[in-house]
Amino acid sequence: MTEFNLLVGGPVSRWPLNLAEQTQVPWIAADRGALRLLRIGITPQLAVGDFDSLSKAELATLQAQVKDIRYAVADKDETDTEMALQLALTEFKATRVTIFGATGGRLDHFLDNLYMLLQPRFLPYCERVRLVDRQNSLRLFLPGTHTIVKEPDKPYLAFGPLTAVTGLTLYDTKYHLTQRNDVHPMMYASNEFIKKSATFSFKSGVVAVIQSKD
């Protein structure tokens, strides 16, 4: 398994408290995320972006410490996060990417980070990607039968069809569903694990699964 962490531009206040300790997995950073990693003692393997939010001194610091920097123009059709994720999945062949800094702050940025996983180029890889912040862990799933493991600090579980979904069945959560069909996005919130794992299935569409805590 080839794992990468990816830090993007969301608020520092939404980071998990132990983010600076997560040094076992190599890091990729989008734009200002690279400088933020350097400031907590982590040198990213790759930095991607137009870096237009950095001062000349900050950019010089980045260039002196990060060996692999991929520059982009400021006026472009894809975000720095999209560019970084594309490199992680295709060039670096990542089998798991955990994205930090993708939630909180501006809602348009959060929705952009969520919806990018539905793009045709990312959708086949969406099950490899996880969005994590201080309270939440979000993954997307494609049709089939899936078993997820409870994260120890997160008591709540939610299932959210992001597209039209058929046959959604929750087998062993606190609240069950059986062959549920939805034609528009919605959220089955505030469910719970009743054991250390939970199994669900569906026949078509894309489902987001969120583990969370207050």
State how beta strands 69-71 and 46-49 pair: parallel
- Residue 59, Cβ density class (10 Å: 0-12 exposed, 13-18 middle, ≥19 buried): middle
> Two tokens at 136?
């939440």
> Two tokens at 142?
């494609």
User: What is the distance between the alpha carbons of residues 24 and 54, in angstroms, rounded to a whole number?
Assistant: 27
Q: Which of 10, 17, 8 is nearest to 49 (CA)?
A: 8
User: What is the distance between the alpha carbons of residues 90 and 113, in angstroms, rounded to a whole number?
Assistant: 18
Digitized pLDDT (tens) for each residue of the chain, 214 residues in all? 799 999 998 899 999 999 999 999 999 999 889 999 999 999 999 999 988 888 899 999 999 999 999 998 766 778 899 999 999 999 999 999 999 999 988 899 899 999 999 999 999 999 999 999 999 999 999 999 999 999 999 999 999 999 999 999 999 999 999 999 999 999 999 999 999 999 999 999 999 999 999 9
pLDDT, position 1: 76
- The kind and range of the H/E element at 26 are none
Laid out side by side, the sheet with 3-7 consists of 69-71, 46-49, 27-30, 3-7, 96-100, 129-132, 136-141, 207-212, 156-161, 188-192
Q: Is residue 198 within 8 Å of 147, Cβ to Cβ?
A: yes
Domains of the chain, with CATH numbers? Answer: 1-134 (3.40.50.10240), 135-214 (3.40.50.10240)
User: What is the distance between the alpha carbons of residues 189 and 210, in angstroms, rounded to a whole number?
Assistant: 9
